[in-house]
């Protein structure tokens, strides 16, 4: 699997992937108004990492680097369970300069379980247009060198 930076040529496919993944995973929401162009607004100003498996785009993650905030992580429904999400998440986590954060919809139990399995911790509950979300943190381990300060 290869994780690389977004290239403009990825946009048409990732628009489709984003729409398909939301429809597949967010079944409790009415997605009638969702459009391919929603992807463009979601990644605006973010660093986007693209996962490829056997030469095919299978997922992406979008990060606000300055905030160590994982804004989006989506995997093609046909590629779920193949380690794509884990590979993207590990790459994102390696970019954090301090505690990482994300918001995960509370009804998305599969995603919550995924993040908890990867060492993320529940911090708080909030409310969004899509319903309640869980604010999660990924605390960086103390640095092995030096005195442990960040």
Output the pLDDT for position 148. 41
- Please report where in the chains the tokens 């459009």 appear, as a residue: 35
pTM given for the model: 0.87
Give tens-digit pLDDT for 40-65.
Answer: 999 999 999 999 999 999 999 999 99
Query: Considering only 7-11, 126-130, 142-146, which range has the smallest mean pLDDT?
Result: 142-146
* Mean pLDDT computed over 34-41: 92
SS3 for 69-94 is EEEEEEECHHHCCCCHHHHHHHHHHH
Between the alpha carbon of residue 47 and those of residues 57, 91, 96, 136, 137, the distances in Å are 17, 12, 12, 20, 19
């Amino acid at each position: 699997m290869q994780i690389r930076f977004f290239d403009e040529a990825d946009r048409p496919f990732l628009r489709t992937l984003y729409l398909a993944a939301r429809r597949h995973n967010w079944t409790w929401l009415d997605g009638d108004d969702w459009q391919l162009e929603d992807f463009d607004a979601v990644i605006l100003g973010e660093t986007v990492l693209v996962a490829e498996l056997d030469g095919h785009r299978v997922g992406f993650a979008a990060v606000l680097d300055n905030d160590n905030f994982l804004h989006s992580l989506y995997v093609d429904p046909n590629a779920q369970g193949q380690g794509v999400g884990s590979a993207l998440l590990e790459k994102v986590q390696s970019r954090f300069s301090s505690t990482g954060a994300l918001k995960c919809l509370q009804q998305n139990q599969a995603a919550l379980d995924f993040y908890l399995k990867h060492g993320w911790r529940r911090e708080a509950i909030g409310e969004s247009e899509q319903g309640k979300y869980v604010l999660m943190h990924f605390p960086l381990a103390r640095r092995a060198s030096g005195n442990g300060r960040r």
